[in-house]
Structure 1
Amino acid sequence: MIGLGRNTADDGLSPQNREATRRATVVVIGGGQSGLSAAYHLKRRGFHSALTMPDSARTFVVVDAEPEPGGAWRHRWQSLRMATVNGIFDLPGFPKPPIDPAEPSRTAVPHYFAAFERLTDLPILRPVTVTAVRRADSDPDGELVVDTS
């Protein structure tokens, strides 16, 4: 079990959701392509949202520092177009739609990620910055705490 500790109570979450995010079996750090893929597979393997089912035995949540979907793609150069992107792979179970080669990658890829998030209904908290991951106590097999701000 992992504790998700916030450094501030002024996080924009309702008191109910703030408490629900305090503990999760798995915390995925980052909502880019890898984080979304990991979350998708956790859900497929029977893990439940720590936001909506906090009492479930196997829960997960994704924390992402970005305010919106897209990961690092949101920060690409405006001049980088989909025609010149070296490669982007499909998210699991969700093929990329046809994309205009002239569209900037910094808008096309985040739109694709956002559509995937809507389809899969993954538990993602944004914007949440992870400041530390540490042991809850001296037990090497014990719980971890993910500090956020």
Structure 2
Amino acid sequence: MAEFVTHEVRPAASGEMIDHCLLGYDDRFLRRKVIGTVGGRRLLVNLARTTSLDHGDAFVLEGGGLVGVRAAPEPLYAVTGDLLRLAWHIGNRHTPCQIEPERLVIQRDPVIGHMLSHLGATLREIEEPFSPEGGAYGHGRTHAHEHGATTHAH
């Protein structure tokens, strides 16, 4: 049984957090799930629709209080080389990508890694929190293919 229940997320929340949870990128895409907090509590997340959470968001608890969301370290590649060309190939495969001035960061995937190496990229295995760019309209998951009010298949 969960200790806390939430039906609401507060984006980029500020205020005093009673606890927080560490969630990887894939785990920050949810609708209904019991998750554990760093403090050892259990939280039933029961949202109206599937939601993509960002580092810094918070769950609003029934009865008050906030549980913060933090991006957990996970296995990634730091990609360097011709970043514009490499970013194009990564995006063309709908691969989530964190774009930084000196590197691109993607989840470890041996097939994508091989392709990037073949294109001249240097890959370094890292373990860090992952916060890729949102979709084409600045929010959501890049692989969801949701474009505003309409959805279409590729």
TM-score normalised to the size of structure 1? 0.29
More strand by share: 2
TM-score by length of structure 2 reads 0.29
Q: Which has the higher contact order (CA 8 A, sep 6+)?
A: 1
